[in-house]
Amino acid sequence: MCVVRGIILEELQPLSTLKTERECAQVFYDIVQCHHWAWKYPQILHRDISEGNIMVREKNGQKYGVLNDWDLASWLNTQNEESTSKFRMGTKPYMAHEQHSSQWQGPHRFRHDLESVFYDILLLVSLYSSPAEKVRFPSTGDHRYEKWHKEDDSFLDGRKSKIIYNGTWRAFPQPFFSGFTLWLAALQENLRRGIFNLENHKYAVLAASRPLKPGRRPPKVPFFDEDTLGGNFSYEKVVMIMHQFNQEELKTWGHEWQVTLEEASSEDWESEESEES
What are the tens digits of pLDDT across the range 109-160?
A: 999 999 999 999 999 999 999 999 999 877 656 678 989 999 999 999 999 9
Terminus-to-terminus CA distance in the chain, angstroms?
81
Rounded to 5°, angle at Cα 71 from 132 and 69: 25
Q: Reply yes or no: is the peptide bond before residue 107 cis, omega within 30 of 0.
A: yes
Q: How far apart (Å, rounded) are the C-alpha atoms in residues 90 and 63?
A: 26
Contacts for 56 with CB less than 8 Å, ≥ 6 apart: 12, 13, 14, 15, 17, 18, 27, 63, 64, 65, 66
- Statement: 15-137+145-212+220-247 belongs to CATH 1.10.510.10: yes
pLDDT per residue over 89-108, tens digit each?
789 999 999 999 988 888 99
